[in-house]
């Protein structure tokens, strides 16, 4: 069972804006960090600017870069690449990209003041055939400020995304070549409403999607009385939708969903807002939902679900929880009517979403999607013990700048990471140090979603670019 959650939501912009020929819209130069430590003078940090390009790095295309550093003038600059054709011109370079795969662009500099530095930048080069199919919805509407990606065991892709123009919810399936799109819900004549939050859980064996979402009327920030939690699933090729409870919700409602393996993969929705208590909704039969209040922190007035929820094989439900802005983060374990919570030290996670997946063994991996510069607690590796009170965790930094992230685990850890408009794939190397690979351009204010295709072991990402939901 796979589950994902979507909530619609910067690397420092260069002052140089380029006019792109595709739509004549002013665009800020994309800035890429080498993630250091660079070799050479400790105080000299190198960045490269991508000039005139955007989106994925496509085999055979020519990309243009410029190396920059703070308050220094270059005396000499040398460029090299692991593959492809490079044409240097002092601090600028043109690079014709090699065939699909990973490739490295390296630069070494000496400044007029005598400082030296070297930087290496890793890129994921995609095949032209894949790049041509990256836009999933080519219609005129804005799509993809939120998207969720998952794969079933047969390698078919399942994608849930928001149509931002009409506030409708869409689903797309990928057979390895072609995407097929269907509307799940949205505004209609005597039916539907506007969608503002959603979550996806996938039965990886059958390929059946299970969706929880917030549907209401008026603007996403409208009156609380018009928002309710809905559920949708695909039965015999058609979408079936259910109102899970006649309870009015705040537009600030957060929702997540998971399938309980100890109960035949029945869907369980976890929901919270700033009006009602943290609670779960269990689907016991079609159109039948059983609500339950979850007291995660022993009587705290308001508790919020803070990230993706997950079941273990025995049916214990794990929920990231917070008690409010600036409050501590808890991992709450719910078994039947009993809830226990592991307090995680106060970290820079408040008002952020926490993607969470099972790692190796009894390890839950929790990632901060967004945070302050240099945040130490980017990734939490939680060792779940029995009794739960004996559980422990370790925290690791992921990147100096984190605007939005997602993670997946399939024998190793994969992180999709956006800072500004730069989109990266982060993976551990043989020494467990992070490897940062550039995979293209994503729209600022959007959050990517990552999943690993089990038939190939390749990580894929959905994200928003040029106001369109995209896939790579």
CA distance 86 to 145: 35
DSSP 355-394: -EEE-STTEEEEE-BSB-TT-S-SEEEEE--SSGGG-EEE
Q: What CATH number has the domain spanning 44-125?
A: 2.60.40.10
The helix or strand, by DSSP H or E, that contains position 190, with its residue range, turns out to be: none
Beta-bridge partners for 85:
96
Per CATH, which fold does 134-471 belong to? Neuraminidase (2.120.10)
Per-residue pLDDT of the chain (472 residues; tens, 9 = 90+): 565 655 443 222 222 222 223 344 445 567 776 665 444 444 577 888 888 777 788 999 999 999 998 778 899 999 999 999 999 999 999 999 999 888 999 999 999 988 888 888 899 898 877 665 577 998 899 999 999 999 999 999 999 999 999 999 999 999 998 899 999 999 999 888 899 899 999 999 999 999 999 998 755 554 545 789 999 999 999 999 999 988 888 777 899 999 999 999 999 999 998 777 799 999 999 999 999 999 887 766 678 898 999 999 999 999 999 887 667 789 999 999 899 999 986 555 444 789 999 999 999 999 988 666 656 568 999 999 999 999 999 988 888 777 889 999 999 999 999 988 889 999 999 999 999 998 888 888 888 999 999 999 999 999 998 899 999 8
How many degrees, rounded to 5, is the angle at CA 34 between CA 32 and CA 35? 110
Beta-bridge partners for 363:
383
DSSP 8-state secondary structure symbol assigned to residue 315: -
Q: What is the pLDDT of residue 41?
A: 45
Considering the entire predicted model, what is its pTM? Answer: 0.83
Q: What is the pLDDT of residue 19?
A: 23
Rounded to 10 degrees, what is the CA torsion of 36, 37, 42, 48? -10
CA distance 150 to 152: 7
DSSP 8-state secondary structure symbol assigned to residue 131: H
Distance in Å from the first CA to the final CA of the chain: 22
Q: What is the pLDDT of residue 350?
A: 45
Asked if 44-125 and 134-471 have one fold, the answer is: no
The residue among 375, 378, 350 whose CA lies nearest residue 366 is: 378
User: Hey, where are the domains in the chain?
Assistant: 44-125, 134-471
Beta strands of 217-272 (E only): which ranges?
Answer: 228-235, 238-243, 254-260, 266-272
């Amino acid at each position: 069972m796979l589950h994902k959650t979507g909530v619609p939501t910067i690397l420092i912009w260069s002052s140089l804006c380029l006019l792109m020929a595709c739509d004549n819209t002013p665009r800020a130069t994309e800035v890429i960090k080498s993630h250091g430590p660079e070799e050479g003078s400790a105080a000299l940090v190198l960045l490269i600017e991508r000039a005139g390009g955007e989106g994925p790095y496509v085999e055979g295309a020519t990309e243009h870069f410029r190396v920059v550093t703070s308050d220094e003038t270059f005396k000499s600059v040398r460029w090299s690449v692991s593959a492809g054709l490079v044409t240097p011109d002092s601090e600028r370079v043109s690079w014709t990209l090699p065939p699909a795969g990973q490739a490295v662009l390296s630069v070494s500099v000496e400044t007029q003041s005598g400082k030296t530095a070297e930087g290496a930048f890793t890129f994921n080069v995609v095949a032209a055939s894949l790049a041509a199919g990256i836009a999933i919805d080519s219609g005129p509407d804005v799509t993809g400020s939120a998207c969720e990606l998952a794969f079933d065991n047969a390698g078919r892709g399942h994608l849930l995304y928001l149509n931002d123009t009409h506030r409708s919810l869409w689903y797309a399936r990928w057979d390895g070549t072609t995407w097929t799109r269907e509307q799940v819900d949205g505004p209609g004549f005597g039916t539907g409403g506007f969608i503002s939050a959603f979550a996806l859980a996938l039965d990886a064996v059958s390929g059946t999607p299970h969706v929880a979402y917030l549907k209401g009327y008026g603007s996403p920030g409208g009156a609380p009385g018009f928002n309710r939690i809905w559920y949708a699933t695909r039965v015999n090729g058609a979408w079936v939708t259910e109102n899970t409870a006649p309870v009015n919700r705040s537009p600030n409602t957060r929702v997540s969903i998971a399938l309980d393996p100890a109960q035949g993969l029945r869907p369980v929705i976890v929901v919270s807002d700033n009006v009602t208590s943290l609670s779960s909704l269990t689907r016991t039969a079609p159109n039948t939902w059983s609500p339950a209040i979850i007291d995660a922190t022993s009587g705290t007035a308001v508790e919020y679900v803070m990230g993706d929820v997950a079941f273990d094989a025995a049916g214990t439900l794990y929920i990231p929880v917070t008690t409010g802005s600036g409050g501590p983060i808890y991992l709450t374990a719910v078994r039947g009517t009993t809830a226990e919570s592991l307090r995680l030290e106060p970290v820079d996670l408040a008002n952020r979403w926490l993607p969470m997946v099972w790692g190796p063994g009894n390890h839950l991996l929790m990632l901060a999607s967004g945070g302050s510069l240099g945040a130490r607690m980017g990734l939490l590796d939680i060792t779940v013990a029995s009794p739960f009170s004996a559980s422990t965790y370790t925290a690791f930094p992921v990147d100096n700048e984190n605007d939005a992230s997602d993670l997946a685990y399939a024998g190793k850890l994969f992180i999709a990471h956006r800072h500004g408009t730069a989109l990266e794939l982060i993976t551990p190397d043989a020494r467990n140090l992070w490897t940062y690979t550039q995979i293209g351009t994503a729209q600022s204010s959007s959050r990517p979603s990552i999943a690993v295709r089990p038939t190939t072991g390749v990580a894929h990402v959905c994200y928003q670019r040029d106001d369109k939901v995209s896939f790579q």
